[in-house]
Structure 1
């Protein structure tokens, strides 16, 4: 064993026990202490969880880094050091509506002390707690009410690693900032499995395990149903925004959804994220596609006429002409605060449109045909 490798291993172990700072290391090169047992995760790639008695170590990877940078957080039954988080937590701040879905699924919103905004929040229970003043609104990125946050004195703040600004002020409050990176998962079940990470903070591990197991069984059952289809309709996604069409890559989250629903996604590259295309390039690829999927934040009642008024060229696509534009309007449906924990429902929505004969009596919950 080289001296360099030995020192890296010692540093990695030291960090797990005594800190929650970022460490740069290869994902498999640092061993957890022998007294910790790793929790089995079936789909999620962005975090790992280790337990030892009542204590846990949560490791969250930074997928934006090329060298497997991660953060460790030590969760303990009784806090004895400043860098530990005592669980179950009593007060948590969520700075994105997409984080709330896991609390909703676990039927535990009492731990939520504040959110970033409730402007488009659908959940009746949380809206009522906000109205009663039990849940505060602390502002958005770059404009957080740090005095209010300090007054709440939460056990931790869930932050989004995809937002670029606004967290520097929060770092000075000496409150643990825990990245919620579920939306970087490339599969629907990968995102859903982050419920186990949330559960570790609120003492609902058993409920999360049971919930995810039932959800994944339903998802896999629907996925297997669509495998039997002989004809896979083609589908494309998105629309123009500020003159650019942002397209999910061929190995992206949405591409996996479409494939699991028995459709052929027209982008067949190896890219995992979204990237820009001009209209002409997109039209060349998607002009003759069978289906067009869009997610929009439009006024209630948005339909075919309103879509074509945004850009008359949309009418040239086959999917528009044949009435096969399927839309989820986030002003009307609680997509962002539910979708991560309802992949089976969204998959059923897609299958209902792509293969109507497979789920003839099903009523879609999120998507509808553009009227």
Structure 2
């Protein structure tokens, strides 16, 4: 055989082998296309021919630490097994109220059969289902009613990766536990984009895209408006809790919010999470700040007098003296069950206080001046 003929034969064999491999790959449904994500970093979805592959990264978005789930059509009658979930799911358990916001936004709570607790829950439809016994309360981390959960036979249980206790017992029963790591996202829009992950379980991807695009457009328009201001007011956040002041890091989720609202956050480190400081350390940095933002889990009538009763030193802050404390009291407002899908609303709230001239007719939804 001539050398040229031998080379041609090798090439043909290689091409035939490649075609066969590609055919097998396509037939097995392993050709995957990525779902486009603009802001979320802690999950990925890939679409196969007749399934979806979901990858959720561990805390810290460590690419070497993730969980993978295969979502298959429920019409395929696949037997229940770890890592394989028929969709749309018909029996869903949410073990954190923050997960519910995505279902509320999709207007789809019909298949939720249990939640961890209804304390402070304000959603009318969900409360009606709880009162009617259609949605069960299964307890909190470490105190789950395992027997009740088992009797509900859920298709999927959404859990918080930031909490622990009781998960091993649930997993040992063969249930699929899907971590909701939206609160690992570093930007407000990254957190909101997790609606696309939930939609993969409810077959509402098109609606999720539409909702998210609307939120993102409104958020970016507000951000652009605030970026044009000439003077950036200074802002700080939080207050003492059990002798410690937890300060959002300079590159944290809340720091992004403040900068997008046209403010200068006074803690300029590169930390992404909140960290503890004593009163003196906070005061030395924030005493002359223009504004003070607080998220309150306190009685509904909490006010400036309540602050002074807690610690008379609060009165020494400039923002306190000049009545520039804007606060959201989670006892009055459904912050935790809505905030993930309302970054545009929260940004508008911030801008209303930080730059009142930009949104003169706006009525804040979550925050209000502390009286």
The reply to whether TM is greater than 0.5 is yes
Structure 1, residues 12-57: CA drift from partner, whole Å, max 9, x if none? xxxxx9xxxxxxxxxxxxxxx8601110000000000000133100
Structure 1, residues 173-208: CA drift from partner, whole Å, max 9, x if none? 210000000001010000000000000001100000
**Residue 65 of structure 1, CA deviation:** 7.1
1:249-268 aligned at under 5 Å gives the runs 249-268=249-268
Whether the aligned pair in 2 keeps the contact of 1:101 and 1:340 (CA below 8 Å) is yes
Name the counterpart of 1:273: 273
1:174-185 aligned at under 5 Å gives the runs 174-185=174-185
1:1-371 aligned at under 5 Å gives the runs 35-64=31-60, 68-77=64-73, 78-81=76-79, 82-83=81-82, 84-371=84-371
Q: Distance in 1 between matches of 2:187 and 2:89?
A: 29
SS of alignment partner, residue 128 of structure 2: helix
**Residue 299 of structure 1, CA deviation:** 1.1
Whether the aligned pair in 2 keeps the contact of 1:57 and 1:74 (CA below 8 Å) is yes
Q: Which moved more, 1:305-314 or 1:35-44?
A: 305-314
Name the counterpart of 2:8: none
SS of alignment partner, residue 100 of structure 1: helix
**Residue 167 of structure 1, CA deviation:** 1.3
Name the counterpart of 1:11: none
SS of alignment partner, residue 101 of structure 1: helix
Q: Which moved more, 1:359-368 or 1:304-313?
A: 304-313
Aligned residues: 340
CA gap 1:63/1:297 in 2 versus in 1, 3 angstroms: same
SS of alignment partner, residue 161 of structure 1: coil
Q: Distance in 2 between matches of 1:68 and 1:364?
A: 42
Q: Distance in 1 between matches of 2:176 and 2:30?
A: 26
Name the counterpart of 1:27: none
SS of alignment partner, residue 56 of structure 2: strand
Question: Larger Cα Rg: Structure 1 or Structure 2?
Answer: 2
**Residue 80 of structure 1, CA deviation:** 2.7
Q: Distance in 2 between matches of 1:68 and 1:190?
A: 20
SS of alignment partner, residue 107 of structure 2: coil
Q: Which moved more, 1:299-308 or 1:358-367?
A: 299-308
Q: Distance in 1 between matches of 2:126 and 2:63?
A: 39
Q: Distance in 1 between matches of 2:249 and 2:61?
A: 19
Tell me the TM-score normalised to structure 1 length. 0.90
SS of alignment partner, residue 220 of structure 2: helix
Structure 1, residues 323-342: CA drift from partner, whole Å, max 9, x if none? 00110000000000000000
Q: Distance in 2 between matches of 1:66 and 1:135?
A: 35
SS of alignment partner, residue 220 of structure 1: helix
Q: Distance in 2 between matches of 1:301 and 1:243?
A: 22
**Residue 111 of structure 1, CA deviation:** 1.4
Q: Which moved more, 1:78-87 or 1:90-99?
A: 78-87
Whether the aligned pair in 2 keeps the contact of 1:235 and 1:293 (CA below 8 Å) is yes
CA gap 1:69/1:79 in 2 versus in 1, 3 angstroms: farther
SS of alignment partner, residue 301 of structure 2: coil
Whether the aligned pair in 1 keeps the contact of 2:351 and 2:358 (CA below 8 Å) is yes
**Residue 136 of structure 1, CA deviation:** 0.2
Give unmatched runs, 5+ long, in structure 2.
1-24
SS of alignment partner, residue 351 of structure 2: helix
CA gap 1:66/1:47 in 2 versus in 1, 3 angstroms: closer
Q: Distance in 2 between matches of 1:146 and 1:355?
A: 50
Whether the aligned pair in 2 keeps the contact of 1:79 and 1:85 (CA below 8 Å) is no
